[in-house]
Amino acid sequence: MNSETKNNIKKLTVSIIGVMLVGAGVALATLPELGSDCLASFNEVVSRKLGISFGYMTTITEIIMTIIAFMMNRKNVGVGTLMAILFVRFPIDLTYQLISKPSSIIVCLLYVVIGTLMVALGVELIIHADLGMGTYEAFMYGIAEKTSIKFIYVKYICDATFLFLTLILGGFIGLGTIINYILCPKMMDIFDGLISKHLSFK
């Protein structure tokens, strides 16, 4: 097996681990029912307004973001993007089956924080595997590259925009949503530095 094949297998493995972490993290963070992440909150309220399922609305949003991301920088869209769309459901469903809903508010908050950290790490692993980002990340990275604004600030702005739209449309924003908004971009930035330093694909 040559070095290029080994490198591609390593990238694919890291990307799969990233997808698993994202799915499990999403499930863990939403299990306490303290509010979804910013984009999910927006999709949730719009799906109710339009009378369509949440899953269908999420698919519509992902398709739109993927097209825009591809137009801005096609390198950000690839196999990893497709994997994130198709396979993230498995770790979500598995986590829901294995872990019961917590009753204590302290445990609920721990679930949200740990789940958010898992999502942040998983997203960064997918990004660094360089096989294509998740749809939302590809969309935001496209904006960051076009405007030269640091990614962390683009994420804060995009998340804030979806939160604002959710509020206008009468959607639910809980404590979990606020924690995700504050914590996720910063942790992604931290994990970005750590992964860049310790994980090489050369």
Q: Are 25 and 31 in contact (CB under 8 A)?
A: no
pLDDT tens across 74-130, in order?
A: 899 988 888 888 888 888 888 888 998 888 999 999 999 999 999 999 999 999 999
Q: pTM of the entire structure?
A: 0.90
Residue 6 has pLDDT above 90, yes or no: no
**Three-state secondary structure string covering 77-98:** CCHHHHHHHHHCHHHHHHHHHH
| pLDDT band (50, 70, 90) for residue 8 | confident
Does residue 39 have a pLDDT over 70? yes
Query: Angle, nearest 10°, between helix axes 3-30 and 89-98?
Result: 50
Gap between the Cα atoms of 65 and 21, Å rounded: 22
- Residue spans of the domains in the chain: they are 14-194
Q: What is the mean pLDDT of residues 17-45?
A: 91
Extract the tokens encoding 93.
């469903």
The residues, any chain, with a CB within 8 Å of residue 167's CB and separated by 6 or more, are 173
